[in-house]
């Protein structure tokens, strides 16, 4: 579309000349995108002041041109057409005339979008309806998962055993490192913070009680749940989301295999069964973190610390932590799989599904933990 460069290195210029009932637009200088697209305000003003019958062009002084000229002409032709003004493009360069004709050949398609009410009440209503829809959808997903569990109990669930083994690996063994590190540090931090307070009363040895009960009953499960939401929940959402985008989930459905049974069930089982095991592992590592601080910074003997821990730690604390592990496993697997299966059909949707799975997973883990803590307090456990 670029014409040979002109000797005239002048700026784009447009002069509007009145010729009786018509307008002549005199184009001169270089009309290049580098200098921007000249505004059509002047022309619009002329047209509205005294509507002409006809517009013609004089491009004798036109230098180099590119899309800047074609854009201007496209807008100008549109202005004229909308007001019933006849346009004579014969004075334009042939290339520009053809490009404008091509751009105007297909009338712009008006897509019927219902007008959206922008009032605050309407916006709140839309958010509420959307949220209600999501709650209903999540409930139906949960129902499907429970039906799949029912099918498993009756021995009729259809999924690949190898998928279950992979899920066991990814939500169990593969998470050992990060779970160990986080819980060891949490145990150490808890011991350190507790020691600073307890030392004032000469009760440093009770650091062992604080760490043992705090980690086994609460923090071991909570931190492992959060780590798993960020790790395994994200991984489930990304894998299932990508399968949705690639139509693999549709392919399963048309093969008569239920996606929830085939894809969600093995992940749900693996995470729900592996998370308590990880919590037990996390408890041990958390207490080792406390022991490390007790022995190195508080001058408590290893045997003494261990004895104090044993005396403080009732079995119910351990079981409460493990039970929370089962609940967190179910929460992490369900949120990760839900957002993965309900993912949109684009690359961006996979990212969004993963983010939502992690955020919702962490939120639900903490909410379930809070509810469990209040409930256990009420039943005096």
Partner 1 sequence: MTPARPHVEVKALTMAYGDHVVQREVSFAVPRGEVFVIMGDSGCGKSTLMRHMIGLSRPAAGEVFYDDQPLWAAGEEDRERLKRKFGVLYQNAALFSSMTLEENVSLALVEHAGLSGKEARDVAALKLALVGLAGFEDHYPSEISGGMRKRAGLARAMALDPEILFFDEPSAGLDPLSSRRLDDLILELRDSAGTTIVLVTHELPSIFELGDHAVFLDAERRTMIAQGRPDELKESQDPKVRAFMSRGRL
Residue numbers of the site for partner 1 (CB under 8 A)? Answer: 109, 114, 158, 160, 242-243, 246-248, 250-251, 253-257
Q: Which residues of 293-326 are buried (b: 16+ CB within 10 A; e: fewer)?
A: bbeeebebeeeebeebbeebbeeebbebbbebbb
Residue closer to partner 1 (CB basis): 45 or 158: 158
CB of 11 to partner 1, least distance (A): 41
E-assigned strands of 35-137? 54-65, 86-88
Q: How far apart are CA 128 and CA 155, in angstroms?
A: 40
CB of 158 to partner 1, least distance (A): 5
Residue closer to partner 1 (CB basis): 199 or 246: 246
E-assigned strands of the chain? 13-19, 22-31, 54-65, 86-88
Residue closer to partner 1 (CB basis): 11 or 137: 137
CB of 284 to partner 1, least distance (A): 33
With beta carbons less than 8 A apart as the criterion, state whether 286 and 183 touch: yes
Residue closer to partner 1 (CB basis): 109 or 380: 109
With beta carbons less than 8 A apart as the criterion, state whether 334 and 231 touch: no
Residue closer to partner 1 (CB basis): 34 or 256: 256
CB of 87 to partner 1, least distance (A): 26
CB of 255 to partner 1, least distance (A): 5
CB of 251 to partner 1, least distance (A): 4
Residue closer to partner 1 (CB basis): 83 or 158: 158
């Amino acid at each position: 579309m670029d014409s040979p460069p002109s000797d005239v290195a002048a700026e784009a210029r447009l002069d509007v000349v009145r010729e009786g009932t018509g307008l002549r637009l005199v184009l001169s200088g270089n009309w290049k995108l580098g200098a921007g697209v000249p505004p059509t305000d002047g022309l619009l003003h002329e047209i509205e002041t005294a509507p002409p019958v006809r517009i013609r062009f004089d491009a004798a002084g036109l230098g180099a041109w590119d899309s800047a000229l074609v854009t201007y002409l496209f807008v100008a032709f549109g202005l004229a057409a909308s007001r019933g003004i006849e346009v004579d493009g014969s004075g334009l360069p042939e290339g520009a005339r053809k490009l404008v004709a091509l751009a105007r050949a297909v009338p712009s398609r008006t897509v019927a979008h219902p007008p959206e009410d922008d009032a605050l009440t309407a916006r709140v209503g839309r958010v509420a309806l959307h949220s209600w829809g999501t709650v209903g959808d999540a409930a139906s997903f949960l129902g499907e998962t429970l039906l799949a569990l029912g099918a498993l109990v009756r021995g009729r669930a259809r999924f690949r055993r190898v998928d279950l083994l992979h899920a066991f690996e990814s939500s169990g063994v593969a998470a050992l490192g990060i779970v160990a590190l986080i819980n060891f540090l949490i145990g150490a931090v808890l011991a350190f913070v507790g020691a600073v307070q307890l030392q004032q009363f000469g009760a440093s040895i009770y650091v062992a009680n604080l760490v043992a009960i705090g980690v086994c009953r609460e923090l071991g499960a909570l931190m492992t749940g959060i780590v798993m939401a960020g790790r395994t929940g994200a991984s489930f959402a990304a894998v299932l989301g990508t399968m949705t985008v690639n139509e693999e989930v549709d392919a399963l459905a048309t093969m008569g295999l239920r996606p929830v049974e085939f894809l969600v069930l093995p992940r749900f089982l693996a995470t729900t069964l592996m998370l308590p095991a990880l919590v037990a592992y996390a408890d041990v590592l958390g207490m080792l973190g406390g022991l490390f601080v007790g022995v190195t910074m508080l001058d408590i003997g290893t045997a003494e610390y261990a004895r104090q821990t044993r005396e403080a730690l009732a079995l119910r604390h351990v079981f409460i932590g493990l039970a929370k592990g089962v609940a967190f496993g179910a929460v992490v697997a369900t949120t990760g799989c839900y957002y993965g299966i309900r993912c949109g059909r684009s690359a961006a949707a996979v990212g969004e599904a993963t983010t939502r799975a992690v955020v919702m997973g962490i939120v639900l883990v903490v909410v379930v933990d809070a509810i469990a803590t209040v409930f256990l307090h009420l039943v005096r456990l």
